[in-house]
C-alpha cells in the first residue's frame, strides 16, 4: 500500500507543479492597472489553487483505503487487550462518556468534563488518563514520546485513531452547556487571542480570517463553525509528508512551534481549552473520521 500511495503522491506533485505554472499568468498581468487596484490584485483568496483541488480529489479516492485503517486496527487490538502493570483492558475499564468500553460516537462528544478526573478532557487526554489510572502506565512514560515519527507510532495514537473511526459521519456535539466545558471554551478563546513571543503572534494571527494562506497552505478560520470544522476534519490523520499518523494534539503543538512559542505540555489544560474552543465552535457539523493530510 505504501508504494501505491507514494506513486499517487508523485503524480500529485507533478500536477501541483503544473498548477503552479498556470498560476503565474494572473500575477504578471496587472502591470497597466491604476495604483489602488493593482495593490488589491492578489488572486481571490477563497479560490482554491489547483494543487489543493487535486489533493482533495486524491483524498476522496483514497477514502476506501485510508492508511489510517492500519493504525485503527492496531488501536482496536490495544483497546481490547489486557495491558499495563494492572493487566486490564481499556474495553473493560475506560469510560469515554458513553459508558465503560463504549467507543461508538465517543470522539465527537469531546472535549468534555470528567468528574473522576476533575478536568475537561479532549479524547486523547481522556485515553491517556485511562491508561494511567486504569492500566497503571506512567504518565511521564507516555508523555516522553507522545507523537509518531517516521520510526515509531505510540500506542496512544493507535488508540485515538480507533476511537475516532467510530465517530465517522457523526455530528460534533461538545457539551457546551456544561459550565466547566463553557469555561474551558472561553479560556481557549482568550488563549487563541493572546499575542506574545518574538513575532507578536497569536493563534488568531493566522486563524481568524477567511481564505488566508501561509505560502500555499490554507488556514482554517477557527472563529466560525465553517472554518473550525476544517481545523477538526481529518484529525487524527495520516500525513503523507513523512508517512506518519498524527493526532489533533500534535497539530496544536506544532502550531505553537510555528507561533515561536515554547511548547505546550502534553495532555494539558492548555490544549484541552483550545480544542474545546475549536471543536465546540464546529458543533452540529459532521465529522468525517480519520483522514489523510498532505
Contact present, 220 and 208 (Cβ < 8 Å): no
Report how many residues bind other proteins under the rule CB under 8 A: 53
Q: Does 270 bind other proteins (CB under 8 A)?
A: yes
> Helix 248-258 and helix 123-133: axis angle, to 10°?
110
Closest CB 226 distance from other proteins, rounded Å: 18
**Cell numbers found for residue 241:** 509528508
Q: Does 48 bind other proteins (CB under 8 A)?
A: no
Q: Does 260 bind other proteins (CB under 8 A)?
A: yes
Contact present, 281 and 173 (Cβ < 8 Å): no
Q: How far is CA 198 from the centre of its chain?
A: 26
Nearer to other proteins, 71 or 147 (CB): 147
Distance CA 31, CA 93 (A): 67
The region, left, alpha or beta by phi > 0 then psi within -120 to 50, assigned to residue 232 is alpha
Nearer to other proteins, 93 or 208 (CB): 208
Nearer to other proteins, 63 or 226 (CB): 226
- DSSP symbol at 245: E
Closest CB 207 distance from other proteins, rounded Å: 10
Rg of the chain over all Cα atoms, to the nearest angstrom: 20
The region, left, alpha or beta by phi > 0 then psi within -120 to 50, assigned to residue 62 is alpha
- Give the number of other Cβ atoms within 10 Å of residue 102's Cβ: 15
- Spell out, one character per residue from 205 to 244, where the chain touches other proteins: x when CB under 8 A holds, - when not: xx--x-xxxxxxx-x-------------------------
- Spell out, one character per residue from 140 to 179, where the chain touches other proteins: x when CB under 8 A holds, - when not: ----------------------------------------
Catalytic residue list: 255
Which of 40, 118, 150, 169 touches other proteins (CB under 8 A)? 40
List of residues contacting other proteins (CB under 8 A):
20, 23-24, 27-28, 30-31, 35, 38-42, 45, 186-187, 189-191, 193-201, 205-206, 209, 211-217, 219, 256-258, 260-265, 268-271, 273
Amino acid at each position: 500500500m505504501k508504494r501505491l500511495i507514494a506513486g499517487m503522491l508523485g503524480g500529485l506533485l507533478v500536477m501541483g507543479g503544473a498548477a503552479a505554472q498556470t498560476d503565474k499568468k494572473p500575477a504578471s498581468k496587472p502591470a497597466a492597472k491604476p495604483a489602488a487596484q493593482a495593490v488589491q490584485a492578489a488572486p481571490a483568496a477563497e479560490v482554491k489553487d489547483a494543487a489543493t483541488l487535486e489533493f482533495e480529489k486524491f483524498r476522496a479516492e483514497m477514502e476506501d483505503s485510508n492508511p489510517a485503517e492500519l493504525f485503527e486496527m492496531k488501536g482496536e487490538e490495544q483497546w481490547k487487550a489486557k495491558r499495563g502493570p494492572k493487566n486490564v483492558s481499556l474495553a473493560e475499564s475506560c469510560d469515554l462518556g458513553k459508558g465503560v468500553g463504549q467507543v461508538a460516537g465517543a470522539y465527537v462528544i469531546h472535549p468534555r468534563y470528567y468528574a473522576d478526573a476533575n478536568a475537561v478532557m479532549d479524547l486523547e487526554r481522556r485515553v491517556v488518563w485511562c491508561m494511567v489510572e486504569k492500566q497503571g502506565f506512567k504518565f511521564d512514560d507516555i508523555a516522553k514520546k507522545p507523537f509518531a515519527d517516521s520510526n515509531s507510532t505510540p500506542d496512544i495514537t493507535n488508540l485515538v485513531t480507533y476511537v475516532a473511526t467510530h465517530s465517522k459521519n457523526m455530528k460534533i456535539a461538545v457539551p457546551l452547556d456544561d459550565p466547566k466545558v463553557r469555561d474551558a471554551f472561553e479560556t481557549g478563546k482568550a488563549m487563541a487571542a493572546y499575542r506574545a513571543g518574538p513575532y507578536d503572534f497569536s493563534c488568531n494571527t493566522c486563524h481568524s480570517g477567511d481564505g488566508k494562506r501561509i505560502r500555499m497552505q490554507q488556514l482554517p478560520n477557527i472563529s466560525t463553525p465553517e472554518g473550525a470544522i476544517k481545523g477538526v476534519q481529518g484529525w487524527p490523520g495520516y500525513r503523507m509528508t513523512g508517512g506518519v499518523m498524527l493526532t489533533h494534539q500534535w497539530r496544536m503543538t506544532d502550531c505553537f512551534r510555528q507561533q515561536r512559542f515554547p511548547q505546550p505540555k502534553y495532555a494539558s489544560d492548555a490544549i484541552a481549552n483550545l480544542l474545546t474552543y475549536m471543536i465546540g465552535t464546529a458543533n452540529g457539523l459532521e465529522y468525517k473520521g480519520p483522514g489523510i493530510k498532505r
